[in-house]
Structure 1
Amino acid sequence: MITVEEVTKLIHREMRGKAPTGIEIAEDTKLGDLGLSSLQVTEIVFTLEETHGVEFDPARAADARTLGDLIAIGNEALAAQDSA
């Protein structure tokens, strides 16, 4: 299961410690509010896919607006893999 904590660690890694201050990272946090570029979001998705051995729906991942969206897409991919 992909968690907020796991994705938060990846965000901090991608931001190289430069995450905006004063923003609490939670499921409803907008990815744009974190200052992540589309390339950084893609890197986070690739890392999650590699770590969990799944493939996210690319169109849905590209449309993810919040951290919760990204987590839901990943967990749906995990659930689909488990049921296969």
Structure 2
Amino acid sequence: MITAEDVCARIAKKLGGKAQAYTLNEETAFDSVGLSSLQIADIVYSIEDDLEIEFDESRAASVKTVADLVKLAEETQQGSAAA
């Protein structure tokens, strides 16, 4: 299971020293903190690896906030558990 705090920690790691300039929470939009599409993709792929799941590519591409990503991970986990 992934939490908003987990995702925020990954964002902070990507931002490095710049992370202190932002308040990271479930409402945080990835583009509002200056993450590149490559950095966002890296976060998404690392979550897939950690949870041993695979996101639907079109749904993963539409993720805009931390909460969106957490919801997608939960739904994907539930779907793979039911399969």
Q: TM-score, normalised by structure 1?
A: 0.89
1:79 is the counterpart of 2:78: yes
- The separation in 1 between residues aligned to 2:56 and 2:75, in whole angstroms, is 9
Deviation at 1:81? 1.3
- The answer as to 2:22 corresponding to 1:19 is no
Instruction: Tell me how far apart the structure 2 counterparts of residues 79 and 17 of structure 1 sit (CA, whole Å).
Output: 35
The runs of 5 or more residues in structure 2 that have no matched partner are none
Give the secondary-structure state (helix, strand or coil) at the position aligned to 1:81. helix
Task: Indicate the percent of aligned positions where both proteins have the same amino acid.
Answer: 37
Give the corresponding residue for 1:47.
Answer: 46
Q: Could you report, residue by residue, the CA deviation over 1:17-67 in whole angstroms, capped at 9, with x for unpaired residues?
A: 32251x321211111111111000000001000000000111111111111
Match of 1:64 in 2: 63
Q: Once the 2 structures are TM-superposed, how far is the Cα of residue 80 of structure 1 from its aligned partner?
A: 0.7
Do 1:30 and 1:66's aligned partners in 2 also have CA atoms closer than 8 Å? yes
Aligned residues: 83
TM-score (norm 2): 0.90
> For 1:6 and 1:26, how far apart are their aligned partners in 2?
10
**4+ residue segments displaced more than 4 Å:** none
